[in-house]
């Protein structure tokens, strides 16, 4: 059988931040790893440039007389850069006198959170891309009328910058399996999936296509299923839920310094987090699933058996994944279970919410069904924006939740499987070009910051050009 994988591209933010690269590790890698993690084919730079071209054209339009009547206080389009830089979250630009533009508040998002990234990943072809770019809402006039990139006549030049970036990138694994690596939206602050074009191309060429969505079934998987599959008319056959003993012990209250020691009590407390992800996939979305436990050398047999036993009570099998150390041989058991699930044909895939629901009903459905929360609290600004967006005709769009990846709730400190909580939506905005409404919850930021010890401190290059410290 022919198999192709379809993955997202790494962002330089995590590469130099806390996570490191995103090309895999050990004997489970896509190559060339260094090139993929650093610049790759230039897609990220094209996306950032298109984003910032639009920003420059907005400010230039205002400077040149503002024929569209754009209200500088109500511009929603932000600049972007593919780097974690908290200093750029909020800023004032246009200072220094009349010749330097009109002063206004502005800010930067990381490139992977840009609507341009979402548009590229959700476009069918170049004409579809251009149409989506044309529909981007950049802000409002003083009369509260939306202004689009099409009105600024920016969409053609933006499409020209993106024409090559729209094409999926073909690389391979260490064992020569073809891999499309294309698009890279984060799953906590964006929709977290690779491009529809890459996925469809893989489906045309292979018997089995393995793709991924960021973080857990509350973030990447929910958005993959409710947004990408809805827009792209895709229906997955089976789902692999990836877990580690270490992560589950962390959810059980163990500090990071003690994760290497056996702790069955903490593991038992953390497993309900995994069971909620299983419930989301199998019960809420109606898809068959297998749990893949990425095995670490410090995992004990008792810990692994506890996970296996608990998952079986939920009707889901567990397969140990040892691909990091053994390559494909370490994933044979997992692959066989995936093929078994597909061959059984037990998928009864359904969305969490319907198009006809209003925006608040969609958000409520995600919070109650996927996060396990009781309800939603809205800031006055969020309520006002929801009302306006529905009046503008955007109420039928899917919802992209921006939420912390550290918890099923919007509070990163609530580990395990929290109960009796509400999620706070502090702001709402429409990505009219991408085709969804973004609800920003808790304290999540669309521009991350670097950690206390960034990965960048360990990265170097020698005189021969060999890079070290990139992982």
Class of domain 359-440: alpha beta
pLDDT at 18: 87
Which residue has 């008792």 as its token pair? 302
Mean pLDDT of the chain: 96
pLDDT at 256: 92
pLDDT at 189: 87
Tens digits of residue pLDDT in 414-465: 999 999 999 999 999 999 999 999 999 998 899 999 999 999 999 999 999 9
* CA 229 vs CA 232, 351, 358, 365, 468: distances in Å: 5, 9, 20, 18, 38
Q: How far apart are CA 189 and CA 106, in angstroms?
A: 19
Fold adopted by 237-348: Rossmann fold (3.40.50)
Tokens of 400: 């992209």
Where in the chain is CATH 3.10.410.10? 359-440
Tokens of 153: 């006549």
Q: Is the pLDDT of residue 19 over 90?
A: no
149 neighbors 136 (Cβ within 8 angstroms): yes
What pLDDT band is residue 287 in, cutting at 50, 70 and 90? very high
Tens digits of residue pLDDT in 221-278: 999 999 999 999 999 999 999 999 999 999 999 999 999 999 999 999 999 999 999 9
Tens digits of residue pLDDT in 2-16: 999 999 999 999 999
Where in the chain is CATH 3.40.50.300? 237-348
Q: Closest by alpha carbon to 367, among 359, 181, 131?
A: 359
Average pLDDT over residues 35-57: 97
Tokens of 97: 């006198």
- Rounded to the nearest angstrom, the gap between the alpha carbon of residue 3 and the centroid of all alpha carbons in its chain is 24
Average pLDDT over residues 392-415: 97
What pLDDT band is residue 382 in, cutting at 50, 70 and 90? very high
Domain 43-162: CATH superfamily is Domain 2, N(10)-formyltetrahydrofolate synthetase (3.30.1510.10)
Q: Is the pLDDT of residue 140 over 90?
A: yes
């Amino acid at each position: 059988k022919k198999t192709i994988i379809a993955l997202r591209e790494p962002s330089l933010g995590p590469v130099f931040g806390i996570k490191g690269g995103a090309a895999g590790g050990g004997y489970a890698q896509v190559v060339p790893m260094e090139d993929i993690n650093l610049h790759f084919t230039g897609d990220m730079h094209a996306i950032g440039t298109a984003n910032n071209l639009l920003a420059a054209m907005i400010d230039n339009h205002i400077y040149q007389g503002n024929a569209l009547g754009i209200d500088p206080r109500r511009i929603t389009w932000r600049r972007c850069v593919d780097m974690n830089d908290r200093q750029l979250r909020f800023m004032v630009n246009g200072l220094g006198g009349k010749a330097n533009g009109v002063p206004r508040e502005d800010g930067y998002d990381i490139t992977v959170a840009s609507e341009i990234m979402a548009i590229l990943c959700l476009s069918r072809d170049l004409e579809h891309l251009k149409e989506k770019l044309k529909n981007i809402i950049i802000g409002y006039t003083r009369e509260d009328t939306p202004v689009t990139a099409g009105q600024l006549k920016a969409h053609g030049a933006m499409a020209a910058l993106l024409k090559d970036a729209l094409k999926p990138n073909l690389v391979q694994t260490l064992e020569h399996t073809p891999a499309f690596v294309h698009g890279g939206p984060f799953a906590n602050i964006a929709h977290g999936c690779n491009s529809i074009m890459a996925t469809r191309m893989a489906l045309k060429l292979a018997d089995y296509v393995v793709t991924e969505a960021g973080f857990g079934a509350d973030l990447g998987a929910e958005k993959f299923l409710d947004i990408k599959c809805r827009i792209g008319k895709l229906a997955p056959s089976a789902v692999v839920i990836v877990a580690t003993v270490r992560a589950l012990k962390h959810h059980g209250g163990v500090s990071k310094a003690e994760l290497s020691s056996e702790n069955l009590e903490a593991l038992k407390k953390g497993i309900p987090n995994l069971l909620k992800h299983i419930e989301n996939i199998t019960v809420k979305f109606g898809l068959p699933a297998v749990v893949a436990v990425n095995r670490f050398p410090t995992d004990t047999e008792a810990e692994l058996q506890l996970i296996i036993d608990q998952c079986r009570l939920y009707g889901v099998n567990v397969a140990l994944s040892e691909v990091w150390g053994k390559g494909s041989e370490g994933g044979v058991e997992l692959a066989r279970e995936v093929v078994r699930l597909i061959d059984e044909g037990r998928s009864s895939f359904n969305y969490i919410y319907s198009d006809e629901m209003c925006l608040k009903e969609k958000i409520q459905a995600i919070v109650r069904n996927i996060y396990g929360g009781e309800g939603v609290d809205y800031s006055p600004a969020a309520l006002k924006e929801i009302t306006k967006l529905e009046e503008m005709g955007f109420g039928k769009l899917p919802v992209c939740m921006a939420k912390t990846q550290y918890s099923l709730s919007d509070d990163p400190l609530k580990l395990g499987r929290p109960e009796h909580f509400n999620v706070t939506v502090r702001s709402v905005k429409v990505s009219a070009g991408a085709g969804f409404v973004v609800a920003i919850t808790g304290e999540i930021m669309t521009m991350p910051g670097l950690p206390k010890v960034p990965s960048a401190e360990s990265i170097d290059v020698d005189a021969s050009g060999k890079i070290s410290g990139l992982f």
